[in-house]
Structure 1
């Protein structure tokens, strides 16, 4: 096996920003992974790029991860230190027996912020960056960029089609082809020809300097899906009883579900305004990435506007994909259900105006519909919120990880994944060991832990699943949707 060699051009192609991370990544991989194949090395680099916080303590990959994470400014910069409160605001924990200590510590730190009003921790919670994944935090007149997260407006979208579910088996090749044509996967994925959508005409793209510089790339990524845990999949929808809110007759249907966010647009907004927030409010080490911007500050209002644009952009990405699928199926969906997570909303809690951050949490206000996925083999659920004040009108956004990506890749074998897929009769296109079902908590346990928060009104069982994987490096031949896969 030849010595591993990685170029800066290859790193930029999969979405790595310019220096200082590129030379560091090249050095780390060529020194410590020299016996890996180029394909294996690039998969590792994609995983680090998708979730750098999960590699912050990795013996070899931490050097790359730290270059991808926003840094606090040096001592003396900004407006001075901000102390945490001695006692944090109360927050309820759902499914506490299955939540790791790292997520709890992060939530306790967030609860001590001077701007915190209330909080909650969802049963799929795990350690994140700033606010834990599955963390919900209500603040007064303040928005925390890393309380929202890097992938702003990460979103679920479901189309329900009145198609015989047997078609998924009998016409599998058709559904596989359409799934492959509907979207691109990968951190750097871009289309050669971009679809038209009104979101790209938003005046903020031409008025805010940061957004102006992101407009071209955002347009090229419109309708793409990213990497990590993002997916597009066909499966079987089961509705046992007709629900007045969902308004779909009881029965079985073909469902198409997508999970992705605001791509490079959201990541750049998150990192830019996190740096600004840190420069204005220097917090203790355990909370330094929870720095906030007030809504009275120009930077706070800028972030709010940019965040909402990123949310609209994420929604547009899903709609572009679902419109392609509906056109190829020759059917209009009977119903579409969609919801953000990784977002902040202005809401009323206990009679007070607050900003509610849901980082990896689903809005679950009274009769609000949402989608909570499981894994590539575990079922997902269409839910209807109960409007629980105890969870600040929130629920989990999925099953939640029980293994980090590093742990998953070290402990799960390709044979085990293959056997699990066969057991559940799931066809996987792309995907990797870091997203194997074994890396996730039991979705049934998670749902049991939040029975007081949502009612289940439908079930989705995956059958054909598309995720980012090695095959997305290939260039698609010119055809009915001429595009180049960016990774």
Structure 2
């Protein structure tokens, strides 16, 4: 049944102006206040044209009877001096420095010069990203950096462990491949009839304007996975430590492991609030993607609520993926392990003071905290227990980490190489392109060796049947 198309709002909103490149902060609020007070008789398009005229030439309106406050706010923002970085970076712990590219180190050095920075650390899977490097951990004073969290807010790992003999996988490979095709969707595909979930009733979907606009798409993408390095896979898991948090005897089991995030919901929240932060917090060019939001401001509080919603939404998607597959297997899981990265947490530093800890592509590893660190589609992943290492800000890597950019992988690697690598590992692959070939990643065993002081290994997961994105355009499928 086709949904009725929503009638476009006739009232000018902040989203309308931001979409036109209008600066956020004081100019945005002033513009809306003037329009809704003095120009209600104009149509929406005429209102936009008027504001665009002021934005294009604010000096011509600084004495205008009604538009002067807007012109003055725009001029003041344009003339604002960038916030100065500290002249010297603070020292920070680096794990596996010899395997980390210079671009990632430079980005972390800049982050350590922010006036809001408390401490930082770089994980052994680190590589260059936007703003904070992937694998970067940054603790700040009462401020959150949207690009320090990342675009895929709340991206996470989730594992279900089943009391099924591991021989089941080899005997039923074709059946499991069909199971994955029937019960998972990637990239721009969606289920024709998404399963409902209580996450869609959260008040943030009605109370935060940018989130409200994303609700329909978020519902459409429930229970699906993103593209890139996101996956759902069947494999075997060996539990080494009988004193584990999920009461599983040592031994081998069948497991489902998934990696995905908050889809377009998180990406749009990240994009919107990054723009707000960059307008609110002008920084030098080399640091502009590290713009922050003070948590005492309305924008900072909104982002914090929206970020937490996106993280919970990502978790709901994983739960639905695992529920669908468990139902298809006809088995209930014995245990579920889940952790997220690309997030910010309120934690205490060594002195007991509250800080905001950003883990962009880093796994929480506080003392006793359980997590999953995957390898590649052809190498093991690990169930780990955190050791609570203060120098690492209670963190560990979130995977193997790239050794080749996606572009480099496409130029350097071949399909034949990837097939040979997968065949040697005994892995069947559904989907995925060369940019996700195992050879494009660091050696997971070396990465784990670099962080032996950060986590202890409780179990080892071996992928056997892997599904990743292979779809090129948005379609609905049953």
Matching residue of 1:227: 227
Matching residue of 2:313: 313
Residues in 2 aligned to 1:209 and 1:77: alpha-carbon distance in whole angstroms: 26
Q: Is 1:82 the equivalent of 2:83?
A: yes
Question: What are the ranges of 5 or more consecutive residues in structure 2 without an aligned counterpart?
Answer: 1-18, 21-73
Q: Is the 8 A contact 1:151 1:342 kept in 2?
A: yes
Q: Deviations over 1:152-202 (max 9, x none)?
A: 00010000001011110101112111111222111x333221211000000
Q: CA deviation at 1:90?
A: 2.3
Q: Is 1:395 the equivalent of 2:388?
A: no
Q: Deviations over 1:232-251 (max 9, x none)?
A: 00001011231232421111
Q: CA deviation at 1:259?
A: 0.2
User: Aligned with 1:395: secondary structure?
Assistant: strand
Q: CA deviation at 1:223?
A: 0.5
Matching residue of 1:341: 341
When normalised by structure 1's length, the TM-score is: 0.81
Matching residue of 2:449: 448
Q: CA deviation at 1:438?
A: 0.5
Q: CA deviation at 1:125?
A: 0.2
Matching residue of 1:413: 414
Residues in 2 aligned to 1:474 and 1:179: alpha-carbon distance in whole angstroms: 19
Residues in 2 aligned to 1:131 and 1:181: alpha-carbon distance in whole angstroms: 37
| 1:345-360 equivalent positions in 2, closer than 5 A | 345-350=345-350, 351-360=352-361
Matching residue of 1:484: 477
Q: Is the 8 A contact 2:244 2:458 kept in 1?
A: no
User: Aligned with 1:398: secondary structure?
Assistant: coil
Residues in 1 aligned to 2:384 and 2:292: alpha-carbon distance in whole angstroms: 32
Q: CA deviation at 1:136?
A: 0.1
Q: Is 1:242 the equivalent of 2:269?
A: no
Matching residue of 1:204: 204
When normalised by structure 2's length, the TM-score is: 0.83
Q: CA deviation at 1:116?
A: 0.2
Residues in 2 aligned to 1:114 and 1:239: alpha-carbon distance in whole angstroms: 44
Residues in 1 aligned to 2:80 and 2:183: alpha-carbon distance in whole angstroms: 48
Residues in 1 aligned to 2:474 and 2:173: alpha-carbon distance in whole angstroms: 22
Q: Deviations over 1:54-84 (max 9, x none)?
A: xxxxxxxxxxxxxxxxxxx999538541010
Change (3 A) 1:428 1:105: same
> How many pairs were matched up?
406
Q: Is 1:382 the equivalent of 2:375?
A: no
Matching residue of 2:41: none
Q: Is 1:216 the equivalent of 2:216?
A: yes
Residues in 2 aligned to 1:197 and 1:374: alpha-carbon distance in whole angstroms: 31
Residues in 2 aligned to 1:98 and 1:247: alpha-carbon distance in whole angstroms: 36
Matching residue of 2:139: 138
Matching residue of 1:48: none
Residues in 2 aligned to 1:75 and 1:175: alpha-carbon distance in whole angstroms: 61
Change (3 A) 1:75 1:250: farther
Matching residue of 1:273: 273
Q: Is the 8 A contact 1:245 1:367 kept in 2?
A: no
Change (3 A) 1:98 1:320: same
User: Aligned with 1:77: secondary structure?
Assistant: helix
Residues in 2 aligned to 1:379 and 1:416: alpha-carbon distance in whole angstroms: 19
Q: CA deviation at 1:86?
A: 1.0
Matching residue of 1:432: 433
Residues in 2 aligned to 1:422 and 1:244: alpha-carbon distance in whole angstroms: 33
| 1:95-114 equivalent positions in 2, closer than 5 A | 95-114=96-115
Matching residue of 1:122: 123
Residues in 2 aligned to 1:197 and 1:80: alpha-carbon distance in whole angstroms: 47
Query: Rg: which structure is higher?
Result: 2
Matching residue of 2:298: 298
Matching residue of 2:323: 323
Q: Is the 8 A contact 1:381 1:459 kept in 2?
A: yes
User: Aligned with 1:276: secondary structure?
Assistant: helix
Matching residue of 1:166: 167
User: Aligned with 2:161: secondary structure?
Assistant: strand
Residues in 1 aligned to 2:404 and 2:298: alpha-carbon distance in whole angstroms: 40
Residues in 2 aligned to 1:170 and 1:79: alpha-carbon distance in whole angstroms: 67
RMSD, aligned α-carbons = 1.8
Q: CA deviation at 1:433?
A: 0.2
Residues in 2 aligned to 1:305 and 1:473: alpha-carbon distance in whole angstroms: 31
Residues in 2 aligned to 1:79 and 1:354: alpha-carbon distance in whole angstroms: 28
